[in-house]
Amino acid sequence: MKQYQEYILEHLKELLAIDSPSGFTGRAADYLMRLYQDMGYEPVLTRKGGVIVDLGGEECDNAFLMASHIDTLGAVIAEIKENGRLRISPVGGYGASAIETENCRVYTRGGKVYEGTCQLVNASLHVNTSYKETLRDFQNIEIVLDEDVHAKEDVKALGIENGDFICFDTATRVTESGYIKSRFLDDKLSAAVLIGYAKYLKDTGKTPKRKIYQYFTVFEEIGHGASASIPEGVTDVLSVDMGCVGDGIACTEKEVSICAKDSGGPYNYDFTSELVQTAKEAGIAYAVDVYPSYGSDVEAALKSGFDVRHGLIGPGVYASHGYERGHVDGMMNAFGLLVAYLDK
């Protein structure tokens, strides 16, 4: 499967280069629509803006759906201040300290894009005598536009308004040792793995025993990504999202994580057991973990009333919702688990 490593990495980098916070995912969805059409599939754009792809297969009444999300964290403008700075409202769950000093882009509804930086209010250490004590929250950080603006009227003259989206730089790096560092590996790393799996099916010409769907959701970070549009006949839904790495967690960046339980409760016992057994039989590096603060797309599907078995796997990712780190080994172990499970 090594031949797919560079393919997955290439499309990961392309996905990460497309700004797509929840509610502003159109360009990422367009990218997937074109990519899958070029591969010979017939992707469908949902009304919510997600992308569903039928990969083929025989058993239509026992279909398998794998879901990853292409929406990320971000922000919108909550207020244009009198001094021309921007107060923001976060999109998704993260702390203000995670974006302090980060470069960003402001997208206007008129189609213009402006650069800026997220800074602490009165950010000069040599001027602000309360710099160290200032609470890092969304009242005390602001966007400083890289434009000659000094008043609210200057900003509005650029076509910038409240509600415009703010997207943060990913600072993507892939090291010689195989580590992948970037914002928004949650969940574009897993989305790239799904792209690799679709390519694998096309290359091999296999017809899966079960019909297989891929679902790229667009509102996961705010809680309702896979709450709609799951096709008829689907009996298993597997969320392929980032695996947790941290204190008290067994998984590392080099493994695929199989989640037994998260904040929403246990995942389907039989489904999870099948995934664990498959990883063992295939010699895939894996860990089984309980995530103390986590929710996934598949739980949104269950809450919407879909009668399916639910599971969660993903490549290990450290520093979630910050400057995240994964590894090509974890990425390929997630890819390998999908292949091994669905080739049975």
Catalytic positions, please?
220
The phi, psi pair for 186, rounded to 5°, reads: -85, 100
d(CA 120, CA 122): 6
E strand residue ranges, the chain: 44-45, 51-56, 59-69, 74-80, 86-91, 103-107, 113-120, 141-145, 165-168, 173-174, 179-182, 210-217, 234-240, 243-245, 256-262, 265-266, 286-290, 309-318, 324-327
**Structure tokens of 119?**
């800074």
Closest CA to 77 of 64, 67, 87, 68: 87
Place of tokens 């929840």: 22
Query: Which residues does 79 contact at the CB level (< 8 Å), separation at least 6?
Result: 86, 87, 162
d(CA 125, CA 134): 11
Alpha helices in 73-184 (DSSP H): 152-157
Yes or no: say if 180 and 174 are a contact pair by the CB < 8 Å rule. Answer: yes
